Amino acid sequence: QTVVTQEPSFSVSPGGTITLTCGLNSGSVSSSYFPSWFQQTPGQPPRTLIHNTNSRSSGVPDRFSGSILGNKAALTITGAQADDESDYYCLLYLPGDIWVFGEGTKLTVL
């Protein structure tokens, strides 16, 4: 069974930089998996931050950026702010035309 792995939790200081990662238990993540990143606050649908590895959605601050780092997709937040405290999910497009979400990372800004 395919599992998309993320760090369960992370902590960053205000103004700091953090990189969240998204891996595959069965191999490497590449741009051909069209990685997306979502931010979610309680009671709301996920908000797309990044799609197609590094394309930022309209209205998303440029402190959010996406990339491939080694064998994983990555979301970097540069200059973290208090309202970046959220749950973050990655999503991969896998062979067979299916999507699989990561397990999510709970980010604390303190």
Partner 1 sequence: QVHLQQSGPGLVKPSQTLSLTCAISGDSVSDNYAGWNWIRQSPSRGLEWLGATRFRSRWNTYYAESVKSRIVINADTSRNQFSLQLNSVTPEDTAVYYCARDRYWKYDYWGQGTLVTVSS
DSSP string, the chain: ---EEE-SEEEE-TT-EEEEEEEETTB---GGG--EEEEE-TTS--EEEEETTTEEPTT--TTEEEEEETTEEEEEEES--GGG-EEEEEEEEETTTEEEEB--EEEEE-
Please report whether residue 95 would count as binding partner 1 according to CB under 8 A: no
Please report whether residue 10 would count as binding partner 1 according to CB under 8 A: no
Please report whether residue 54 would count as binding partner 1 according to CB under 8 A: no
The residue (of 25 and 110) whose beta carbon lies closer to partner 1 is 25
Number of residues located near partner 1, criterion CB under 8 A: 23
Please report whether residue 25 would count as binding partner 1 according to CB under 8 A: no
Tokens 């490497």 sit at which residue?
28
Please report whether residue 46 would count as binding partner 1 according to CB under 8 A: yes
**Binding region for partner 1 (CB under 8 A):** 1, 34, 36, 38, 40, 45-46, 48, 51-52, 55, 57, 89, 91, 93, 96-101, 103-104
